Amino acid sequence: MIEKLQHFDRRWIFLTLFIVLCLAVIHPFQLPIAVEPFVQKAYNAIEALKPGDQILMAFDYGPSTAPEVHPAALAMLRHALSRGAKVDMFTLWNEGYPYIQDAIDKVCIPMGKKKNVDYVNLGFKWGGQSGAGVIEGMGSNLKAVFPVTDDGTPYDSVPALQGVRNFHDFKLLLSVSAGTPGIDEYVRYANARYQIPIVSVVTRVSAPKEFPYVTGTQIVGLCAGLVGGAEYEELMHHPGAGTAGLFALSVANMAVIAFIIFGNAIYFLGKGTKKP
């Protein structure tokens, strides 16, 4: 029996996980959500914005990581707009462009915010592998990097961008990042050189790497993955995709832990048996 289990077909694990997750998604259960201090700091930084404050928001991610970071991006955008801040959105990833439009459709328009007045879609700008040139360019002259908005409106004709020249005119840089160029490049080029405070949303896998940057002077607040999104939605009292996915994620984690225990138990029980 133990020998049979030692050669357990791993495809059963995939199938079990798929069925368990489908059930968790179809029948969700509201779990209590404890907010991490880093998420609270991110919330506080956006809560401190005053009406008319300018913030930059970078959508540097694609379809492969959107389920993780997009819920937090929507929650933060909703929060910033509710504070009366003007949000200028852009992306250095070509795959990130549709998510700006999705955010406008799901957050800006339902909130009754006006295009080019309350929010601006600056669109996509290829920043190279490091993004250094574009970020440095934005720091010194935003208009030179984005001479027109996504809909072709000249920079000088956009009401929201009147008087905005470079990073010094922004209260906050909100970086939703899933790789390079992303949060590391903003810390290096935007924060180190122009001292612009950064609030970031990152994937859970890159979160341990970014924690040391949450020093108060580099990254002021951080939301990590789907869990971070759910926590931010909890602070906003506005449940969304993050909260919806949290139960399924918890079930998935429990299933993985159960499989690890199962695998180890089989290993130790079968230690005395002969190898085939």
Partner 1 sequence: MSTQIIVWIAALLTLCVFSFLYKDNVFYKLAEHIFVGVSSAWLFATYLHSDIMEDMLLKAFPSAFHQTSVPDWKVLGGGIIGLLILSRLIPGFVILSRFGVAFIVGFQTGIQLFDTISANILQQLGSTIVPLFTRKPGEMIKNWISVVGTSSSLAYFYFSKEQKGIFGMFTRLGIWFLMISFGAAYGSTVMTRMSILIGRIYFLLSNWLGVVKI
71, 230 Cβ separation under 8 angstroms: yes
- Min dist CB 159 to partner 1, Å, is 21
233-238, long-range: CB < 8 A, 24+ apart: 233/71, 233/75, 234/33, 234/35, 235/35, 235/39, 235/40, 235/43, 236/43, 236/75, 236/78, 236/79, 238/75, 238/78
132, 101 Cβ separation under 8 angstroms: no
Question: Binding of partner 1 at residue 203 (CB under 8 A)?
Answer: yes
Q: Which residue in 48, 109, 117, 205 binds partner 1 (CB under 8 A)?
A: 205
Per-residue mark of binding to partner 1, 253-272 (x: CB under 8 A) = x--x----------------
171, 53 Cβ separation under 8 angstroms: yes
Question: Binding of partner 1 at residue 5 (CB under 8 A)?
Answer: no
Number of chain residues interacting with partner 1 (CB under 8 A):
52
Q: Cα 146 to chain center, whole Å?
A: 23
- Min dist CB 151 to partner 1, Å, is 14
119, 104 Cβ separation under 8 angstroms: yes
The DSSP call for residue 240 is: -
Question: Binding of partner 1 at residue 181 (CB under 8 A)?
Answer: no
Kindly tell me which of 36 and 124 has the beta carbon lying closer to partner 1.
Answer: 124
Question: Binding of partner 1 at residue 7 (CB under 8 A)?
Answer: no
Cβ of 31: how many Cβ atoms within 10 Å? 13
149, 123 Cβ separation under 8 angstroms: yes
- Min dist CB 271 to partner 1, Å, is 23
Cβ of 137: how many Cβ atoms within 10 Å? 18
Per-residue mark of binding to partner 1, 109-148 (x: CB under 8 A) = ---------------xxx---x-xx--x------------
Which stretch, 36-44, 79-87, 211-219, 267-275, contacts partner 1 (CB under 8 A)?
211-219
Binders in 33-92 for partner 1, by CB under 8 A: 64-68
Binders in 148-167 for partner 1, by CB under 8 A: none
- Min dist CB 52 to partner 1, Å, is 30
Question: Binding of partner 1 at residue 226 (CB under 8 A)?
Answer: yes
245, 66 Cβ separation under 8 angstroms: no
Distance (Å, rounded) from C-alpha 175 to C-alpha 183? Answer: 6
Backbone angles phi, psi at 199, to 5 degrees: -115, 135
- Min dist CB 49 to partner 1, Å, is 24
List residues binding partner 1 (CB under 8 A).
Answer: 11, 14, 17-18, 21-22, 25-26, 64-68, 94, 124-126, 130, 132-133, 136, 187-189, 191-193, 203-209, 212-213, 215, 217-218, 224-227, 240-241, 244-245, 248-249, 252-253, 256
